Amino acid sequence: MTVLLWLSLIASGFGFRPVGDPSALNAGKIDPVLILQVRHLLSEQRGDEIVHVLIRLRGEATTVQRGAIEQKGGKIETALGDVLTVRVPAASVFEISDLDFITYIETAKKQRPQNGPDSPGGDPSAVLERMGHPFGTTRRE
């Protein structure tokens, strides 16, 4: 019994944590819904299943930061400012959250375009007219 206690104290001192649990410091960096999703996949031995996530960084991604994410199993799909869309194995989500330049990770959600003049399904001529584009008067009467 004493040996187990010492082993657990030593392991906790070296940053060991059970698989499927974010560190206490990084739990706030991960969306609670994503934590539940990853824990569920890991409990069913499906850690290699790909999860689509949005990752917010402290600034625009550098080559080194992109490499660090990819080294931990992430596949960067798009980058827009300080936000990346990434495909990552469920088993790697908590490990990626350990990277110090990451501020938040959440599940990526599919968005549907809204119908309106500014949406892809809207009237492009109206958008061009508001922008003052010389080709804004493409409507046929």
pLDDT per residue as tens digits for the range 11-24: 444 444 444 556 55
Residue 28 banded pLDDT, cuts 50, 70, 90: confident
Mean of per-residue pLDDT scores for the chain: 77
Report the pLDDT value the prediction gives residue 17, as an integer from 0 to 100: 43
Show Cβ contacts of residue 106 under 8 Å, excluding neighbours closer than 6 positions. 30, 31, 33, 34, 53, 54
Report the pLDDT value the prediction gives residue 45, as an integer from 0 to 100: 95
Report the pLDDT value the prediction gives residue 22, as an integer from 0 to 100: 61
Fold of 2-111: Alpha-Beta Plaits (3.30.70)
Does residue 119 have a pLDDT over 80?
no
Closest to 73 in 3D by CA, of 84, 89, 57, 50? 89
pTM over 0.85: no
Report the pLDDT value the prediction gives residue 110, as an integer from 0 to 100: 73
CA distances for 60 relative to 54, 93, 95, 101, angstroms: 14, 20, 20, 10
Report the pLDDT value the prediction gives residue 12, as an integer from 0 to 100: 44
Domain ranges (residues) in the chain: 2-111
pLDDT digits (tens, 9 = 90+) for 31-77: 999 999 999 999 999 999 999 999 999 999 999 999 999 999 999 99
